[in-house]
Amino acid sequence: MIQAEIISVGDELLTGIVVNTNAAYIGQKLTELGYQVSWITTVGDNKEKLASVLEEAYNRASLIVVTGGLGPTHDDITKKVVAEFFDSKIIFKPDILSKIEERFNRMGREMAEVNREQAEVPEKAELIENELGTAPGFVFAREGRTFFILPGVPSEMQRMMEKSVLPRLMREKDRIMVRSKLLLTTGIVESDLYEKIKTLLCEFPEVKLAFLPKTSGVVVRLMAHGLSAEEYLLQAEARIRERVGKFIYGEGETTIEKVVADLLLKKKLTIAVAESCTGGLVSHKLTNVPGSSNYFNRGIIAYSNKAKVEVLGVPEKTIKIHGAVSPETALAMAEGVRLISKTDIGISTTGIAGPGGGTPVKPVGLVYIGYADSKRSFFEEHHFTRDRWWNKERSAATALDLIRRVLLDYV
Amino acid sequence: MIQAEIISVGDELLTGIVVNTNAAYIGQKLTELGYQVSWITTVGDNKEKLASVLEEAYNRASLIVVTGGLGPTHDDITKKVVAEFFDSKIIFKPDILSKIEERFNRMGREMAEVNREQAEVPEKAELIENELGTAPGFVFAREGRTFFILPGVPSEMQRMMEKSVLPRLMREKDRIMVRSKLLLTTGIVESDLYEKIKTLLCEFPEVKLAFLPKTSGVVVRLMAHGLSAEEYLLQAEARIRERVGKFIYGEGETTIEKVVADLLLKKKLTIAVAESCTGGLVSHKLTNVPGSSNYFNRGIIAYSNKAKVEVLGVPEKTIKIHGAVSPETALAMAEGVRLISKTDIGISTTGIAGPGGGTPVKPVGLVYIGYADSKRSFFEEHHFTRDRWWNKERSAATALDLIRRVLLDYV
């Protein structure tokens, strides 16, 4: 595989003021084209350090993408350092200046003098047009290495990648064919998932598996190279689905709430939510999906016992005898919210999010999820184990997944 | 200044599946402590490459933080490579295994065999406890360099930074005196904030100001070095507060919901929430604060008009005449939820989150926030301008800030 490297320039990245989303974007695009991204290096606005990382990248990779430090202010040093690295003079190009002046005219603004510098470019570089900003990008090629130098503003960089860099790379003949796929699981922890599918690692040596834990569950990434990549992936995916299919709620970039929303829409079902320990998170997630008013009727966050009794109609006796965190209360909440909302489905959560409120019998992390529709109602008991934030997130994801499993007849 | 470096390990970072938020978090924390973060390097799950970057970091910096690759699966190589780098054997520690087994017992789950490996640790390393996961962290020190090795799961890494790494670094004597402070603002955009306080940049050349836009609002970071750092900061902060004080809801790491929670607790007030466009997010945020049951009574997500009428008692006529997104409905929702909940305060949101549902008169991003207590009720009109996610986040933060402003007599 062809080795690629990403170099990000800017103090704001080192001091954490800006998260390096550029590197992730470029990494993803290059990977999809079959490059092996092996290093991402971030340095500040510092000439010596940038020069040294250019040198290293030159020795390690064939394709190098540099972003940042092309702006017009004094701490933008990338153009100068790269030009020196490639022994290139910097020359003034009147046609670039005209373009920049035109830009400012179109915006009805005076061009600040400092932008004149953007028309000074390395003589040996091929230019990449920047449609969204004033700093042009550069391409340097030498001894089989290609360096793309792009601005750090994400929208400008992305546009230039899409319009210039990626089309150019796609024309390269010696790229290796690569295919990848993300399988999104929930309700199974990483180690259990690994146990269940580890033998596939030997069965499909061509397919590289990676496990990526997220709050919503564990993402399994499959990758394969070569002409049969597609085929290998399909075979491996089929075997994974045989073993852990019911835990896979989607593929690629979707979310559990999007999957549930699509199922509800497809089956023309409506839902109402009664939340205690999740405090609104289940409803928040469901309403993150555009168009949610087509299936989401209402959510009741019955935090106090009084609210559970008054709004949801949970019998006072149920709470007195079994407690607010109990299978009985979870059931009464799900049935209650469904009844008052006249929806097809009612779902509920009640538990102890922590850090306070736990007892030896009902510890922090104990959560009951209730489900009710016209035919049946039932509950599930779950034990989560981290902090309040995690317990809320996991409870909400589990409640959403319960809906999915019911709608797909897994439960 | 002491040189620091961050090393991030994981194929998922190189291939862009995960954005490297860990490096930004660590960069910010180390910068605030006065370290000069000069390099951030990301490598994949590859032994040779990780070993080579450890070597480079060792030669360049005194403080090195490594994250990622400590999980129990086959591609997690960090522990092994770091142990080799420090010529340390890996030994089995029964007490760590017991702790992990305990964890699984508490969760009511069988420990997968693969987790046994987490109890195998480098002999020469000091261990850092991982309260939120199974992989312990490590500290290696040699010849004036300190390496902290932490897991890549952000919540685990952050907890370990806060509990172990940062307190330890704060005790180091040879740190350069640096003081920093975060002032958390909301309800004012970055450019307005900058206009209002830019002259302070000349007035206090010793204080470096940075603006960090977050969903909750713009964070202003003040930093100063040297023996008088504390004094400079205090002076600059006083002048900033003179100009934009009412927009500052807190300092440091707090959140708007925590500030509101503290105010409610201090004043012994209870609250109920009626949400439409925020879909549960206001309640979710309020219940993220531990102990929220002391002031949060209930939340009603009245997404459908029927729910607004049935549960909150909004007059049908109000919705018919003025629409669900209107000052009148916002007021009726706030008053209604307060009345049925018998709380001191009622707060409501109704608006058009988008992308659909907008009209020329009521465009996407239009949001009304209603407020009611025993003495008065009123509404605010806001216009947010991005996507659904942003509009929900901004609406929720603004509703929470409205409560703050009322409780502090700004409104």
Tell me which residue in B273, B280, B353 faces A281 most closely, judged by beta carbons.
B280
> How close is the nearest chain B Cα to the Cα of A79, in Å?
20
| Cα B214 from Cα B23, distance rounded (Å) | 17
Instruction: Name the E strands within B308-356.
Output: 345-351
In single-letter form, the type of residue at position B403 comes to I
Closest chain B C-alpha to A27 CA, distance in angstroms: 5
Answer yes or no: are the C-beta atoms of A30 and A63 closer than 8 Å: yes
The confidence score (pLDDT) of residue B275 equals 98
Give the residues across from B212 on adjacent strands.
B219
> What is the mean pLDDT of the segment spanning A192-202?
89
Report the chain A residue with the minimal C-alpha distance to residue B48: A38
How many angstroms separate the CA atoms of A255 and B388, rounded?
A: 15
**Interface test with chain A among B298, B309, B348, B391, by most A beta carbons within 10 Å:** B298
**Partners of B140 in the β-ladder:** B147
What HEC string does A259-325 produce? HHHHHHHHCCCCEEEEECCCCCHHHHHHCCCCCHHHCEEEEEEECCHHHHHHCCCCCHHHHHHHCCC
Q: Edge-to-edge strand order for the sheet containing A366-372?
A: A377-383, A366-372, A345-351, A271-275, A296-302, B296-302, B271-275, B345-351, B366-372, B377-383
What lies within 8 Å, CB to CB, of B347 at 6+ separation is: B271, B272, B273, B274, B282, B334, B337, B369, B370, B371, B372, B399, B402, B403
Question: Bridge partners of A213?
Answer: A218
What pLDDT was estimated at residue A92?
93
- Asked if A385 and A311 touch (Cβ cutoff 8 Å), the reply is no
* Residue A59, pLDDT above cutoff 70: yes
**pLDDT for res A176:** 66
Q: Which of A76, A66, A74, A70 is nearest to A140 (CA)?
A: A66
Judge: B306–A297 Cβ closer than 8 Å, yes or no.
yes
pLDDT digits (tens, 9 = 90+) for A270-289: 999 999 999 999 999 999 99
Distance of CA B175 to the CA centre of its chain: 26
Tracing tokens 């100068």 back to the chain, one arrives at A80
The dihedrals phi and psi of B308, each to the nearest 5 degrees, come to: -60, -40
Q: Which of B208, B239, B241 is nearest to B224 (CA)?
A: B208
Q: Which residue has the higher pLDDT, B189 or A188?
A: A188
Tell me which range, A208-212, B30-34, B89-93, B189-193, is most confidently predicted by mean pLDDT: B89-93
Measured in angstroms, the CA of A305 and the nearest CA of chain B are apart by 9
Residue A173 in this model has a pLDDT that exceeds 70? no
For A389, which of B12, B115, B288 is closest by C-beta distance? B288
The yes-or-no verdict on residue B172 having pLDDT over 80 is no
Set of chain A residues whose Cβ sits within 8 Å of the Cβ of B130: none
> What is the pairing mode between strands A271-275 and A248-251?
unpaired
Quick check: A248 and B248 in contact, CB under 8 A? no
* A272 beta partners: A298, A346
CA distance, residue A14 to nearest chain B CA (Å) = 6
Residue B176 confidence (pLDDT)? 65
Distance CA(B357)–CA(A291), nearest Å, equals: 9
What average pLDDT does the structure give for chain A? Answer: 92
Residue B407 phi/psi, 5° resolution? -65, -20
CA distance B354 to B351: 9
Q: Which of A340-344, B73-77, B309-313 has the lowest mean pLDDT?
A: B73-77
Residue B276 has pLDDT above 90, yes or no: yes
Residues B114-157 pLDDT 10s = 888 889 999 999 999 998 888 999 999 999 999 999 999 999 99
Contact A399, A278 (CB under 8 A): yes
pLDDT of residue A174: 61
Closest-CA distance, A144 to chain B, in angstroms, reads 22
Quote the pLDDT of residue B173.
Answer: 56
Domains for chain A: give ranges and CATH numbers. Answer: 3-171 (3.40.980.10), 178-251 (3.30.70.2860), 256-407 (3.90.950.20)
Q: Which of B80, B85, B78 is nearest to B11 (CA)?
A: B78
From the list B28, B293, B354, the residue facing A15 with the nearest CB is B28
Neighbours of B357 (CB within 10 A): 16
Q: Which of A21, A280, A293 sits opposite B287 (nearest CB)?
A: A280
Question: Closest partner residue to A303 among B107, B297, B306, by Cβ?
Answer: B297
In chain B, which residue's Cα lies nearest the Cα of A209?
B75
Question: How far apart (Å, rounded) are the C-alpha atoms in residues A358 and A388?
Answer: 12
Separation between Cα atoms, residue A366 and residue A371, nearest integer Å: 17
User: How many contacts, defined by CB atoms under 8 Å, are there between A and B?
Assistant: 271
| pLDDT tens, position by position, A3-33 | 999 999 999 899 988 899 999 999 989 988 8
Alpha-carbon distance A210 to nearest alpha carbon in chain B (angstroms): 8
H/E stretch holding A50 reads helix A47-60
- Chain B residues close to A284, C-beta within 8 Å: 278-281, 284, 392
- Structure confidence by residue, pLDDT tens digits, B49-79: 999 999 999 999 999 999 999 987 777 899 9
- As a whole number, mean pLDDT of residues A33-43 equals 94
Region of poorest pLDDT, from B86-100, B165-179, B306-320: B165-179
Q: A77-86, A202-211, B32-41, B148-157 — which is least confidently predicted?
A: A202-211
Q: Which residues contact A99 (CB under 8 A, 6 or more apart)?
A: none
Residue B404: the pLDDT is 97
Please, which residues have CB within 8 angstroms of residue B84's CB and are 6 or more apart in sequence?
A: B51
Cβ–Cβ < 8 Å for B382, B398 = yes
Best of B26, B42, B77, B220 to mutate (most A CBs within 10 Å, chain A): B42
CA distance B327 to B39: 52
Element (H, E) at B271: strand B271-275
**pLDDT at A110 > cutoff 90:** no
**Quick one: pLDDT at residue B225?**
84
pLDDT of residue B73: 74
Q: What average pLDDT score do residues B209-227 get? A: 85
Q: Judge whether residue B291 has pLDDT over 80.
A: yes
Instruction: For residue range A219-242, list pLDDT tens digits in order.
Output: 998 988 888 888 999 999 999 999
Label residues A229-258 b or e (16+ Cβ within 10 Å = b). Answer: beebbebbbebbeeebeebbbbeeeebbbb
Joined together, the tokens standing for residue A208 give 């590289």
Closest CA of chain A from B409, distance in Å: 28
Q: How far is CA A16 from CA B80, B98, B210, in A?
A: 29, 37, 11
Burial of B249 (0-12, 13-18, 19+ CB in 10 A): buried
CB atoms within 10 A of CB B168: 14
Q: Is the pLDDT of residue A147 over 70?
A: yes
Give Cβ neighbours of residue B229 (< 8 Å, ≥ 6 apart): B177, B178, B179, B206
Task: Look at A17 and B280 and tell me if their CB atoms are within 8 Å.
Answer: no
- Contact state of B24 with A28 under an 8 Å Cβ cutoff: no
Please indicate whether residue A146 or residue A221 has the higher confidence score (pLDDT). Answer: A146
Cross-chain residue pair B301–A23, CB shorter than 8 Å: no
Number of H helices, E strands in chain A: 16, 17
Which of the four pLDDT bands, split at 50, 70 and 90, describes residue B33? confident
DSSP-derived letter for residue B317 is H
Instruction: Return the beta strands (E) in B303-409 as ranges.
Output: 345-351, 366-372, 377-383
Which residue from A316, A367, A318, A372 is spatially nearest to A344, judged by alpha carbons? A372
Compute and round to an integer the Cα radius of gyration of chain B: 26
Partner-chain contact B31 A15, CB within 8 Å: yes
CB contacts of B299 in chain A (<8 Å) are: 279-280, 299-301, 303
> Among residues of chain B, what percentage have pLDDT more than 90?
72
**Banded model confidence at residue A411, pLDDT cuts 50, 70, 90:** confident
Token pair of A105 as six digits: 């005219």
Question: In the predicted model, what is the mean pLDDT of residues A176-191?
Answer: 87
CA atoms within 13 A on the CB side of B297: 24
Between chains, do A190 and B71 touch, taking CB under 8 Å as contact?
Answer: yes
pLDDT of residue B49: 95
Candidate from A302, A310, A355 with C-beta closest to B290:
A355
- pTM across the whole model: 0.81
Three-state DSSP state, A78: helix
Distance in Å, alpha carbon of B354 to nearest chain A alpha carbon: 7
Report whether A162 contacts A150 (CB < 8 A). no
CB B112 within 8 A of CB A188: no
Among A180-189, A221-230, A351-360, B280-289, name the one with the lowest average pLDDT.
Answer: A221-230
Which candidate in B303, B310, B333, B395 is best for mutational testing of the A interface (most A CBs within 10 A)?
B303
Q: What is the mean pLDDT of residues B379-408?
A: 93
Q: Quick one: tokens of B3?
A: 């040189």
* Whether pLDDT at A112 is above 80: no
Residues facing B180 on adjacent strands: B223
DSSP codes, B59-103: HH-SEEEEES--SSSTT--HHHHHHHHTT--EEE-HHHHHHHHHH
- The verdict on a CB contact (< 8 Å) between B103 and A296 is no
pLDDT for the residue A128: 96
Mean pLDDT of B362-372: 96
For B358-397, b/e burial (b = at least 16 CB within 10 A) is: eeeeeebbbbbbbbbbeeebebbebebeeebeebbbbbbb
Closest CA to A330 of A377, A364, A385, A284: A377
